[in-house]
Structure 1
Amino acid sequence: MHRRIQSKLPFGLRFALRDLLGDPRGFGVFVACIVIGVAAISGVSGLSRSLAEGLAREGRTILGGDASFSLVARELSPEQRAFFETRGRICEISLMRAMARRDDGEAAMVEIKAVDPATYPAFGAVTLDPATPLDDALAEKDGVAGIVVDPILLARLDVKLGDTLLIGNSRVQLRAKLLNEPDKLAGGVGFGPRVMMTRAALKASGLVTPGTVVRNATRITLAGNAADEDVKAFVKAADAAFPRAGWEARTRDAVSPQFSRNLDRFTQLLTLVALTALVAGGAGVANAVHGFVERKRMQFAVLKALGATGSRVFAIALTQVMAAAAFAILLGLAVGALIPWAAAGALREAAELPVSAAMDARGALFGALYGLLVTLIFALIPLGRAHEAPVAALLRDDARSVKLTRYRAAAFIAAVALAALATVSSADLKLGAAYVGAAVAAFAALRGAASLTMRAARALPRPRDARLRLALANIWRPKSLTPALIVSIGLTQTLLVALALVEGSVHNELARADAGEIPNFFFVDTPKSQAQAFAAFLAEQVPDARIEHVPMMRGRMVEVKGAPVGKIAVADDQKWAFEGDRGVTFSASLPANSQLAEGEWWPADYDGPPLVSLEQKVAEGIGVGIGDDVKVNVLGRELIAKVASLRKVDWRSYAINFIMVFSPNAFRGAPYTELFTVAYGAPSAEIRDAMDARLARETAKRFPMIVSVRVKEALQAIDKIADQLALAARAAAGLAIVTAMLALASAVASGQRARIHDAVVLKTLGATRGWLAAAYGFEFGLVGLVASLIALAAGIGAAYAMVTLVMKIDFAFPIAAIVATTVGTLLVTIGLGLAGTWRALSRRPGPELREL
């Protein structure tokens, strides 16, 4: 059967398949490089889809209903409540931050979720330890309300179940540990442990005062089995019925737009890193194809001598390479399809994410196309030599006269197609284009460095040490390994350096907190009636501290130049400013932590129509300029203000600053709270921690309504998330390292023939194995050093852009990590190079001379 099928195939295809199946040597590295890259790209895409489908499938449970409407510092009006009650079942919760404290004043910030146990949760179940009905755990007993808490709070305050704590003006009892809440993801990231209580207990605590930042969310479960279109129609009807409500509406298919967008961005970053691994392995593909052509050189010469045209020889060789590529792509897709299932369990346990393992056909298609294009880019030029070289040149192994213009053009077209695919398939076109530009620049720099290194090695004076002379000659001679080594090593080290610098910069933020360069505390929800007394208290507790405070309310921009915010184009990097309510303030003078970029500040006694100053980048992101009108909803009141100025804000200072600063007359008589920051230094971290603990404790005793947010703890929470993301990025970068090592091994393997020849001749002349190993060590060390220097510059540039432009934090340069990365790369390069040339070092001269 097998032979009958083959007999029906065209001669060229039949010959190619027989030859490939009879002698598949040399394609191991080729297949491995393609498999790793394709598997990573398709696997990351499949994992992203699994998360997205899990969110969609569990959307009702995560959101707590079909739709959710949240208001800040206010509740539904009777008319709004009646509107919702006639359309479905409602469940109301309240979210806010507060301080939980022991009788001795020891306190910790907590994230309160106040619920009505009769209606909460609408879907799913709350898991408690010990297993207790939620209504029983939260019920008031002997005049004391119950709470269930995150186990972290028990350890943080050194308390146990049955003990009581003070929250606001109320005493509450710890009844159970809160192990799981079905709608946890919809609440966003919190900086303190969760405390769940009843809404009645929250009202009794006295924490909710005019202007207090409390988010009241109303979840609605529509009657019947409502489809997604019905839910969206309901939300539109609610917005139309109450156009000035100023609420934030979410639906079950878009539980957390910010999480979904961050997931898209992170998936894209991992995909680009995986693509880098695939492209880095391109050197391995090129070397494998080059070795294949070398092995088949005599066979190609015989075919041409017997009358085969160059086109037929090229078709035979291309068929073999593409058959190997097809096998590698299919194997890569199979491995990639397993990744979502392998990672689903870990994500459910570690991150409590609803993962529904699935394969992404679109991601698999892109992975296959990436693998195909990378194969063509790096295989066409080596194969072109088999087409263009005449019989005599093939027999003499002389490729100097071969013209490869058409193959270089074809490889260039494939590279352009790859760049276009990477850009078009990107969720963020700017990031995709930036990646393509950076990749092209890196390749150009590394190839240029390789060319300059070869020229420099040839131009240098001949050293006295013969080992150095051999090393320099190996660097510049024809068929040198220098280009392949510099590209492989350079791309890998660029990734490592960039990751080390980004992680170092994130950790540096914690060091800044320890040094007192940024505020020690934010104090939020300070009632304006207590602002003066609290300022005096802080001056008494920390006399030399830098204390700042401003009024703060919560509001959201609803219209820009007469158009609803939801219908205008917002720059991707500024969408965060329009997701939910943001802090707003008013000031008679320019805030100390910002700089006027355009326009003028209003006079201190200004009493005209409301004016607003916007942060410059946010204004540019929505196309707003001086003189334009914006409408904001603050505490349910809509206000139209004219843009009077734009400000530059350094968010990295962690000082008080706002996107929107209004003229004082805009909110005359409005309820608000004060936001305080306190910054002070200390001789040591231990003393500073003690000062922080004492200030937090005294604040909780004397001002129980004020929430103390320790900046260092907030940064540690962010740092933990950054570490998790960095772990995923390092895993993806590890793929690039593996493919680079494979490329390095294939490059050394492709030069085995020449190295064996050199080793045999030099051994005949008296060279020892140690002498040859030293010469090869010098060669790989010099090439690795050049690649490391280029990679160091590229990695620093990429990390600086990521840290300052995307993450918006200060750039740090951890010298120890960079030196360790550079030295480690050099040692690995030399080690792999010597390991790859061991065959040449171990050959005996006699048998080899008889074969030359």
Structure 2
Amino acid sequence: MAGARFRSLPFGLRFALRDLLGDPRGFSIFFACIVIGVAAISGVSGLSRSLSQGLAREGRTILGGDASFSVTARELTPEQQAFFQARGRLSEISLMRAMARRDDGEAAMIEIKAVDPATYPAFGAVALDPAVSLAEALAEKDGVDGIAVDPILLARLDVKLGDTLLIGNSRMRLRAQLMSEPDKLAGGVGFGPRVMMTRKALVAAGLVSPGSVVRNATRITLNGNASDEEVKAFAKAADAAFPQAGWDLRTRDAVSPQFSRNLDRFTQLLTLVALTALVAGGAGVANAVQGFVERKRMQFAVLKALGATGSHVFVIALAQVLAAAVFAILLGLAVGAVIPVAAAETLKQLAELPVSASLDLRGASFGALYGLLVTLIFALVPLGRAHEVPVAALLRDDTRSIKLTRYRAGAWAAAALLAALIILSSPDLKLGLAYVGAAALAFGALRGAAWLTMRAARAVPRPRDARVRFALANIWRPKSLTPALVVSIGLTQTLLVALALVEGSIHNELARADAGEIPNFYFIDAPKAEAPAFAAFLAEQAPGAKIEHVPMMRGRIIEMKGVPVEKITVAEDAKWALDGDRGVTFSTDLPANSRLAAGEWWPADYNGPPLVSLEERVAEGLGLSLGDEIKVNVLGRETVAKITSLRKVDWRSFGINFVMVFSPSTFAAAPYMELFTISYGAPSVAARDAMDARLAREAAKRFPMIVSVRVKDALQAVDKIAGQLALAARAAAGLAIVTAILALASAVASGQRARLHDAVVLKTLGATRGWLATTYALEFGLVGLVASLIALLAGAGAAFAMTTMLMKIDFVFPVGAVAATTAAALAVTIALGLAGTWRVLSRRPGPELREL
């Protein structure tokens, strides 16, 4: 039955399948390049979908209820509380930063989470060690409240369970280690270890005062088993009932919009790196197809001699290549489907992320389309040779006079379709356009460099050394490996150089902290009544240090140009400015580390209606300009301010600066805290660390309510996160390296026949194996050097854009790391070239001469 169905296929397809199944030689690298690229693309997409589904499925547990309403430096009003209590069960928590210190003054910053054990957690469970109930761990015993702490704090302060710590004005006892909390993701990223206590203990510690940066979140679990639609309707009703509440509202289907956006961006970045791996393997596809056409030369000649048209032969060859591509794509999709399942448990344990492994049909479809289009881009031109070459030329192995215009046009059309697919499927249009533009520029530069290298090699005066002369001839001769080598090496090394430079720039920020070029400390939550005393204390502790302080409050933009922000579409890179409360300040003078980009600053004695100055890029992303009005909610009070200036801020200085700076009279009478920075140098890193430790200890002793944030520690936390992300990017880039190596191997293999002919002739004339090896090493080394130089420029350009435009840090060029990357690429290129030509070097002339 199967045989009958097979015989019913068109002749060309039937012939192609039989020939492919009977002789699949030469397609191994083709298979590997497609499988790796498609598996990476579909796997990354599937893992992202699994994370998104896990967030949706566990949304109630992560959020701590069906909906969450957060306010900063205040609490919900009795009317708001009554509104929620009538509709469901409440659970309240408070989040803030503070200092925990030992009796000897040694201190560490902590992230406090104050809860009511009777209602928290509403879903899931808190894991403690020892395994006691949360109520027991946090209970007051003998007049001392209990706390559960992150194990990191025990190591940082060298304390153990049963000891006591001073937090604010209270002494609290370490009762348990906090191993996990179900709503950790909803709380965002913190720079200190978590400390859990009761809300009653937080108040008793004296940490909550007017203006304190404490975030109070009220979670509500609606009566009955509410559906997603009912939760959304409730959220709208709450906003309608209290239009001036100014709260940060989250529902269980959108637990963390910022996390979801970052996940989408990072997924896209990894997908583009995986796509680069697929494209880098395109040279392997082209070489494999070229080798296939060479092997089938006599068969195609016979078919044409028997009356088959060029189109018929082309269809047969294309059918074989597409059949191989479909098999490779299906295998890649199968491998990609396993990736989310394999990574699920690891992510749950290491990052406490909810992963719901599932098949991502959309991602699989895009992976398959990418694989098919890359196959067409790199296979059409080699396959065109089977169509255009006449029978006599095939038999003579002469292909110099053929015209491949239509096939090149087809390849360009496939490339244009691939570019359109990348852009249209990209969550971030700018990133998609940037990738396509950068890829086109890189390909153009590498192909241009290959062409110039071949022209230069041909134009160079003939050297006396025959080995150099032969190496240069190999670079420019027909069917040279130069284009394939330059593209494969260049694309891969561009990725490696870009990653090395980005990581180097991140590490440089830590070095800047060590050198005292940026502030040593931020001190937050300094009561304005204590600001003069604290400034004097800092001047006493660090004579000659640069001390700055400004008022600071928390507020959120709720309207722009009279329209609620929920109804306005803003640029992707500006959405963070509307997520929750932002730091705001007021000032008579233009802040340091910023300059006016547009408009005018208000006079020092201005006392009129509220005015505001916005950071230039944020204003552009929000669609705001001079003269527009924004409404902000600060400490529960709504204020409308007119934009009179835009500022360009140097965020890389790490000095005090804000997105929104208001005129002095706007909040002068409001309860606010002061934000301090201090910068000082030291003769050595050790002396500076000692100074940091002493200042933090003394500040915690004399001003226990003020939180000290060591900038170096914050940078190290960011560096750790960046390192984890870079590890994932390096893993994806590693796939590009593998496919590029496969492409190099296929390129070398495709040139074996011509090299074998040359080697036989040269050996007959007396050339030794060492002589030939030196020649090939020169050839591959020169080509690799050209590719490395182009990759160096392209990688440096990409890293410069990422660090200065996206990450807002200084771009540095670590010469050692880049030189090591370049040297390694050259060594691998030469080694692969020599390994691939080893068969040529080891063949004896006699048997080969009889076959030529």
Partners in 2 of 1:722 and 1:447 — Cα distance?
Answer: 33
- Residue 517 of structure 1: aligned partner: 517
Partners in 2 of 1:341 and 1:514 — Cα distance?
Answer: 43
Amino acid at match of 1:264: D
Amino acid at match of 1:827: A
User: Does structure 1 residue 186 correspond to structure 2 residue 206?
Assistant: no
Amino acid at match of 1:521: F
- Residue 444 of structure 2: aligned partner: 444
Partners in 2 of 1:61 and 1:10 — Cα distance?
Answer: 58
Shift of 1:30: 0.4
Q: Deviations over 1:710-733 (max 9, x none)?
A: 000000100000000000000000
Shift of 1:589: 1.1
- Residue 148 of structure 2: aligned partner: 148
- Residue 489 of structure 1: aligned partner: 489
Q: Deviations over 1:676-723 (max 9, x none)?
A: 000111111110000000000000000000000000000010000000
Query: What SS class does the counterpart of residue 688 from structure 1 fall into?
Result: helix
Partners in 1 of 2:807 and 2:567 — Cα distance?
Answer: 27
Partners in 2 of 1:93 and 1:153 — Cα distance?
Answer: 21
- Residue 88 of structure 1: aligned partner: 88
Partners in 2 of 1:87 and 1:663 — Cα distance?
Answer: 41
User: Does structure 1 residue 815 correspond to structure 2 residue 819?
Assistant: no
Partners in 1 of 2:598 and 2:13 — Cα distance?
Answer: 69
Q: Deviations over 1:818-850 (max 9, x none)?
A: 000000000000000000001111111111111
Q: Deviations over 1:262-292 (max 9, x none)?
A: 0000000000000000000000000000000
- Residue 469 of structure 2: aligned partner: 469
Amino acid at match of 1:72: T
- Within 5 A, what are the aligned runs for 1:326-725? 326-725=326-725
Partners in 2 of 1:625 and 1:493 — Cα distance?
Answer: 43
Partners in 1 of 2:637 and 2:584 — Cα distance?
Answer: 13
Shift of 1:2: 4.8
Bigger mean CA deviation after superposition, 7-16 or 606-615: 7-16
- Residue 158 of structure 1: aligned partner: 158
- Within 5 A, what are the aligned runs for 1:111-126? 111-126=111-126
Partners in 1 of 2:297 and 2:509 — Cα distance?
Answer: 59
Shift of 1:624: 1.1
- Within 5 A, what are the aligned runs for 1:794-813? 794-813=794-813
- Residue 757 of structure 1: aligned partner: 757
Amino acid at match of 1:538: L
Partners in 2 of 1:639 and 1:299 — Cα distance?
Answer: 82
* TM-score normalised by length of structure 1: 1.00
Partners in 1 of 2:588 and 2:505 — Cα distance?
Answer: 36
- Residue 105 of structure 2: aligned partner: 105
Bigger mean CA deviation after superposition, 15-24 or 195-204: 15-24
Query: C-alpha root-mean-square deviation of aligned residues, in Å?
Result: 0.7
Amino acid at match of 1:603: P
Q: Deviations over 1:92-116 (max 9, x none)?
A: 0000000001111110000000000
Amino acid at match of 2:621: G
Shift of 1:573: 1.1
Partners in 2 of 1:726 and 1:416 — Cα distance?
Answer: 30
- Within 5 A, what are the aligned runs for 1:195-344? 195-344=195-344
Unaligned runs of 5+ in 1: none
Q: Deviations over 1:605-628 (max 9, x none)?
A: 111111111111111111111111
Amino acid at match of 2:203: K
- Residue 848 of structure 1: aligned partner: 848
User: Does structure 1 residue 36 correspond to structure 2 residue 36?
Assistant: yes
Q: Deviations over 1:547-602 (max 9, x none)?
A: 00000000001111001112112111111111100000001111122101111111
Partners in 1 of 2:598 and 2:424 — Cα distance?
Answer: 36
Q: Deviations over 1:335-367 (max 9, x none)?
A: 000000111111111111011111100000000
Shift of 1:29: 0.4
Bigger mean CA deviation after superposition, 386-395 or 445-454: 386-395
Q: Deviations over 1:21-65 (max 9, x none)?
A: 111100000010000000000000000001001111110000000
Partners in 2 of 1:639 and 1:20 — Cα distance?
Answer: 74
User: Does structure 1 residue 7 correspond to structure 2 residue 16?
Assistant: no
Partners in 2 of 1:626 and 1:42 — Cα distance?
Answer: 46
- Residue 169 of structure 1: aligned partner: 169
Partners in 2 of 1:602 and 1:775 — Cα distance?
Answer: 73
- Within 5 A, what are the aligned runs for 1:60-79? 60-79=60-79
Partners in 2 of 1:746 and 1:449 — Cα distance?
Answer: 21
Taking only the aligned residue pairs, the percentage that are identical comes to 81
Partners in 2 of 1:772 and 1:323 — Cα distance?
Answer: 39
Amino acid at match of 2:484: A
Partners in 1 of 2:753 and 2:584 — Cα distance?
Answer: 72
Q: Deviations over 1:223-250 (max 9, x none)?
A: 1111111111111100110000000000
Q: Deviations over 1:720-771 (max 9, x none)?
A: 0000000000000000000000000000000110000001111111111111
Partners in 2 of 1:363 and 1:7 — Cα distance?
Answer: 35
Partners in 1 of 2:174 and 2:12 — Cα distance?
Answer: 80
Partners in 2 of 1:568 and 1:758 — Cα distance?
Answer: 69
Amino acid at match of 2:449: A
Partners in 1 of 2:781 and 2:133 — Cα distance?
Answer: 68
Partners in 1 of 2:113 and 2:17 — Cα distance?
Answer: 67
Query: What SS class does the counterpart of residue 665 from structure 2 fall into?
Result: helix
Partners in 1 of 2:792 and 2:634 — Cα distance?
Answer: 49
Partners in 1 of 2:132 and 2:623 — Cα distance?
Answer: 54
- Residue 827 of structure 2: aligned partner: 827
Shift of 1:392: 1.3
Partners in 2 of 1:154 and 1:139 — Cα distance?
Answer: 20
* TM-score normalised by length of structure 2: 1.00
Shift of 1:465: 0.7
User: How many corresponding residue pairs?
Assistant: 852
Amino acid at match of 1:479: K
Q: Deviations over 1:757-810 (max 9, x none)?
A: 001111111111111010000000000000000000000000000111011111
Partners in 2 of 1:2 and 1:775 — Cα distance?
Answer: 54
Query: What SS class does the counterpart of residue 666 from structure 1 fall into?
Result: coil
Q: Deviations over 1:53-83 (max 9, x none)?
A: 1111110000000000000000010000000
Partners in 1 of 2:353 and 2:692 — Cα distance?
Answer: 34
Amino acid at match of 2:758: D
Q: Deviations over 1:319-342 (max 9, x none)?
A: 100000010000000000000011
Q: Deviations over 1:346-397 (max 9, x none)?
A: 1111111011111100000000000000000000000001101111111111
Partners in 2 of 1:42 and 1:836 — Cα distance?
Answer: 32
Bigger mean CA deviation after superposition, 116-125 or 573-582: 573-582
Shift of 1:9: 1.9
Shift of 1:7: 2.1
- Residue 784 of structure 2: aligned partner: 784
